[in-house]
Amino acid sequence: MLGPVRELARLRLAATEAEEQALRLLEIGIWLAAAFLFLGAALVFDAILVVLLFWDANRLLAAGLVAAGFIGAGTAAALFARARLRERPKFLAATLAEFERDRDTLGRP
C-alpha cells in the first residue's frame, strides 16, 4: 500500500488535472461563443448589404452566394473547434502514469 502522503499527492494531481481539463473546455467554449457572435453579426450585415446591392439585378443569385458564405464560415468554425478538441491531452494522463510507476515500484502486476 502507498503511504498516506503519496496517496494524497496522487489525489491532488488527479484533481489538478480534472480542473485543467474543465478550464480548457470552458476556454474553448468561450472562444467559440465569441467567434459565433462576432462572425454571425458580420455575416448578417454583409448578407443584407450584398442583397441590397443586387436587389434590382440578381437578388436570388446574391442571396444564394450569401448563403454559401454562411455555410463556408460555419464549416470553418466547426473544423477549428474539432482541431482544438483533438489536440487536448488525454484525461488524467499524468495521474495514470504515476499510478503505473507506483505499481511497478511496488512490484505488483
pLDDT single digits (tens) 55-77: 888 888 888 888 888 889 889 98
- Outline where 2-108 has alpha helix (H): 4-53, 59-86, 93-106
| Dist. CA 78–CA 14, nearest whole Å | 30
Radius of gyration from C-alpha coordinates of the chain: 25
Residue 109, pLDDT above cutoff 60: no
Looking at the structure of the chain, the number of domains it has is 1
Task: Specify the 3-state DSSP secondary structure of 91.
Answer: coil
pLDDT single digits (tens) 1-30: 556 777 777 778 888 888 888 999 999 999
Range of the domain at 85: 4-106
Q: Which residues contact 85 (CB under 8 A, 6 or more apart)?
A: 28
